[in-house]
Amino acid sequence: MKTSRKDVLYLNIAVMLFGLAGVAAQYIEISSILIALGRVISSSLILFVILKARKKDIRLGSRRDYVLIIFVGCVLAVHWTSFFHSVQVSTVAIGTMMSVTFPMFVTFIEPAVFKEKLRAKSVVSSLILILGVFITIPEFSISNNMTRGILWGLLASLTYAIMTVGNRYFAGKYEGMLICFYEQGTAAVVLLPSLLIVRAEWHAADIALICFVGTVCTALAYTLYVTAQKRVRAQTAGIITGMETVYGIVYALLLLGEVPSVRELAGCSIIIGVALYTSVTNAG
């Protein structure tokens, strides 16, 4: 499978937009599950409007596809909730760093699902990426907020790995925007009961930021990401997505004043090196 330069560009733009989501969460003063709910509601609505305006057929090809995409949508609900919670209890850097460890899971899940050979190159690249991520993590203890952020980030990582592999299957059959609509819509339905359980004071700024995250950082970014997966292996997409850590730290520095430590800069150097190498060697 040969990845075009256009696919690489789409992936990198998507990851740049993904990186903004964590920063936005630091400005939103409501629970992570409600942020996730607002994100998927706004993104699924905008996707539905666009699909209807383009007069697209939104039906899937089989009952099996409906079952699978609903499953991925449920996983997405867990992913966004755990990611935002990781960022809120720790930092943007920790949240993004842990979420991009998902190639470690993808590298082994993808060959099992698609009956492919486990590639040594993918394993090595993923391990180097993981090394870069863990170098940036400070010393921690179980009672530390950073530890809780790391654990929630790992859950976000695992769920994203499952979604990535699932999206490779759907990307070969459906348009990226349609896939996103079903997954975001399913996640919205799954998270909707949280409105009755979690109490929150909604402010105009919170709503505006959630809409921004839902439309730009989700509907647009996720569509670009899934579309690019039609011609790229999930491991390759995963390594490029490691750049989210770099973008997240830069955004946090500029917008939140979070100054990266020497360890974070060292880890980011490894991450960006692996990501750029993967982009160049897989573009043709």
What pLDDT, on a 0 to 100 scale, did the predictor assign at position 21? 87
Q: Which residue has the higher pLDDT, 115 or 188?
A: 188
Phi, psi of 79, deg, nearest 5: -60, -55
Model confidence at 35, in pLDDT bands (50, 70, 90)? very high
Looking at residue 130, what is its pLDDT?
A: 77
Task: Quote the pLDDT of residue 169.
Answer: 84
User: Which of 81-95, 176-190, 236-250, 268-282 is the least confident region?
Assistant: 268-282
Interval 7-12 mean pLDDT: 82
Q: How far is CA 6 from the centre of its chain?
A: 20
pLDDT tier for residue 284 given thresholds of 50, 70 and 90: very low
Per-residue pLDDT at 280 exceeds 60: no
pLDDT given for residue 279 in this prediction: 53
What does pLDDT average to over the chain? 83
Instruction: Give 119-134 pLDDT, tens digit per residue.
Output: 777 778 778 877 877 7
pLDDT over 80 at 242, yes or no: no
Task: Report, as an integer, the average pLDDT of 176-188.
Answer: 92
Indicate the pLDDT class of residue 24, thresholds 50, 70 and 90.
confident
pLDDT band at 243 (very low <50, low <70, confident <90, very high): confident
If one compares 274 and 70, the residue with the highest pLDDT of the two is 70
